[in-house]
Amino acid sequence: MSTATYTVKGMTCGHCVSSVKEEVGGVAGVTNVEVDLATGLLTVDSDGPVDAARIAAAVDEAGYEVVNQ
């Protein structure tokens, strides 16, 4: 199992959190997604390493931006 942490910019509400969780949760190999609205912290658990660009693309699809990878 692998865990990676990212910072997401632009989230302002619970709906934002839900959107990010849904999109990132759809990335192949991802087993769990946690999002902290207050800090913008996105924690991704997966079966193995997942390409950070795929996570960033999923966050972008939700309408937000990863500010560190």
Q: Residue 42 in contact with residue 20, Cβ under 8 Å?
A: yes
Residue 6 has pLDDT above 80, yes or no: yes
Under CATH, what is the fold of the domain 2-68? Alpha-Beta Plaits (3.30.70)
DSSP code, position 7: E
The alpha carbons of the chain give a radius of gyration, in whole angstroms, of 10
Contacts 24+ apart (CB under 8 A), 12-17: 12/37, 13/37, 16/62, 16/63, 16/64
pLDDT in tens, 12-61: 999 999 999 999 999 999 999 999 999 999 999 999 999 999 999 999 99
pLDDT of residue 69: 57
Residue 3 to residue 36: CA distance in whole angstroms:
15
pLDDT of residue 24: 98
Residue 50 to residue 1: CA distance in whole angstroms:
11
